[in-house]
């Protein structure tokens, strides 16, 4: 296949085209959705730096950056929900109900929940275990 053949295929693809002239609200929802993705990336980058620089539980200016990026993320998330015509409280209530039903079997009070989670992960990835996994840290 040539680049021109692929370009022709891409131009002919219509499943992602909006079937009507988008309204101002739809344009804003799309812009907010994209901005939210950008903020999620910025927040993830700060978390990466916190972990790689080993300052997770230590004082660092990165923690201020985390707070700022998390705040931006929540601002865009709340604004997106509002512009899409929903109430944040309703979405959180539905989410809580869905997650409680989904993870009801895993619900264990106290410290045991982490231990059980860790055991499940270890069992799941036992076949992928490589000796000296921490060797890259040395």
pLDDT along the chain (138 residues), means of 10: 92 80 93 97 94 83 93 97 95 92 67 69 68 43
Shared-domain flag, residues 27 and 82 = yes
Give the span between the Cα atoms of 19 and 45, in whole angstroms. 36
Q: What is the pLDDT of residue 134?
A: 44
Q: What is the pLDDT of residue 16?
A: 76
Shared-domain flag, residues 109 and 67 = no
Shared-domain flag, residues 38 and 60 = yes
Q: What is the pLDDT of residue 36?
A: 97
Shared-domain flag, residues 102 and 73 = no
Q: What is the pLDDT of residue 10?
A: 87
What is the span of the domain harbouring residue 97? 88-125
Helix (H) or strand (E) holding 47: helix 24-52
- Whole-number Cα distances in Å, 130 to 46, 126, 135, 136: 29, 9, 10, 12
Q: What is the pLDDT of residue 138?
A: 37
Dmax (CA) of the chain: 60
């Amino acid at each position: 296949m040539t680049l021109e053949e692929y370009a022709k295929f891409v131009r002919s693809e219509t499943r992602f085209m909006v079937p009507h002239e988008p309204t101002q609200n739809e344009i804003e929802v799309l812009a907010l959705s994209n901005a939210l993705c950008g903020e999620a990336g910025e927040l993830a980058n700060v978390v990466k730096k916190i972990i790689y620089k080993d300052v997770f539980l230590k004082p660092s200016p990165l923690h201020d950056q985390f707070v700022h990026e998390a705040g931006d993320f929540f601002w865009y998330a709340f604004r997106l929900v509002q512009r899409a015509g929903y109430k944040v409280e309703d979405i959180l209530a539905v989410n809580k109900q869905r997650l409680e039903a989904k993870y009801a079997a895993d619900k264990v009070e106290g410290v045991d929940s982490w231990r059980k989670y860790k055991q499940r992960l270890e069992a799941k990835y036992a076949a992928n275990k490589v000796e000296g996994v921490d060797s890259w840290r040395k």
